[in-house]
């Protein structure tokens, strides 16, 4: 069985992701040990929290360098997506730069944060295998990644934004697959079981 690691840092949501994976029959390891992360077959980087304090924690432990150097399949979720981008307006934070996209705050034209179910359009990618276009996924966020060359899924709330990003071995999702019912579970299963 492939070793599946969830990166532990000072952001919430680690345990809901862990529970979702256990429901699917996987046994993830939750750790912030660099060597354990490097040796994993699959790495998940979830998070709910604030960008600048999360990046400070990662830098203090050199986990940002560890993450950027990974070559195995990697999945960022929510704050995990935003921290993989170039820059976040939240705390004017320089992030990891895996993706060149910038993270901005939603303009206050509608209810912010964006909380609840919304439709997502997916690119053709192994991660989204078996998901119908326009599937509803669950979001909780006030900041969004712009669309760009790495956009792999799009949602429209106030404006179109990257609901998913993909570059090489790095995938990232703004929505929460672990809270998105059977279709979200399908994404997690696709990630763990992809060749």
- Which among 50, 78, 101, 110 is annotated as catalytic? 78
* H, E, C per residue of 76-131: EECHHHHHCCCEECCCCEECCCCCCCEEEECCCCCCCCEEEEEEEEECCCHHHCCC
User: Does the annotation count 85 as an active-site position?
Assistant: no
78 in active site: yes
CB 41 within 8 A of CB 8: no
| Strand arrangement, sheet containing 159-167 | 29-31, 4-7, 42-45, 74-77, 170-173, 159-167, 151-157, 114-122, 135-141
Q: Which of 85, 90, 171, 178 is flagged as catalytic?
A: 178
Q: Tokens in use for 154?
A: 């799009």
Per the omega criterion (within 30 degrees of 0), is the bond before 171 cis?
A: no
In the annotation, is 171 catalytic?
no
CA 193 to mean position of chain CA atoms: 17
Catalytic choice (114, 141, 171, 176) = 176
Burial 82-108 (b: 16+ CB within 10 A, else e): bbbbbbbebeebebbebbebbbbebee
Tell me the H-state helices in the chain. Answer: 14-23, 34-39, 51-60, 63-68, 79-83, 181-193
Active site residues: 78, 176, 178
């Amino acid at each position: 069985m492939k070793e599946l690691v969830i990166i532990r840092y000072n952001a919430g949501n680690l345990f809901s992701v862990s529970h979702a994976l256990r429901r699917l029959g996987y046994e993830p390891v939750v750790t912030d040990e660099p060597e354990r992360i490097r040796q994993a077959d699959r790495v998940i980087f979830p998070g709910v929290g604030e960008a600048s304090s999360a990046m400070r924690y990662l830098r203090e432990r050199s986990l940002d360098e560890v993450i950027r150097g990974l070559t195995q399949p990697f999945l960022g979720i929510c704050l995990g997506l935003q921290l993989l981008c170039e820059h976040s307006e939240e705390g004017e934070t320089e992030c990891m730069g895996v993706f060149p996209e910038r993270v901005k705050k939603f303009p206050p034209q509608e209810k912010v944060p964006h909380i609840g179910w919304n439709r997502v359009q997916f690119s053709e990618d192994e991660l989204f295998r078996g998901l119908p276009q326009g599937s509803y996924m669950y979001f909780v966020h006030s900041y969004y990644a712009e669309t760009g060359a790495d956009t792999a899924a799009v949602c429209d709330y106030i404006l179109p934004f990257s609901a998913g990003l993909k570059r090489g071995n790095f995938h990232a999702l703004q929505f929460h697959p672990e809270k998105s019912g059977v279709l979200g579970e399908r994404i997690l299963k696709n990630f763990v079981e992809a060749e």
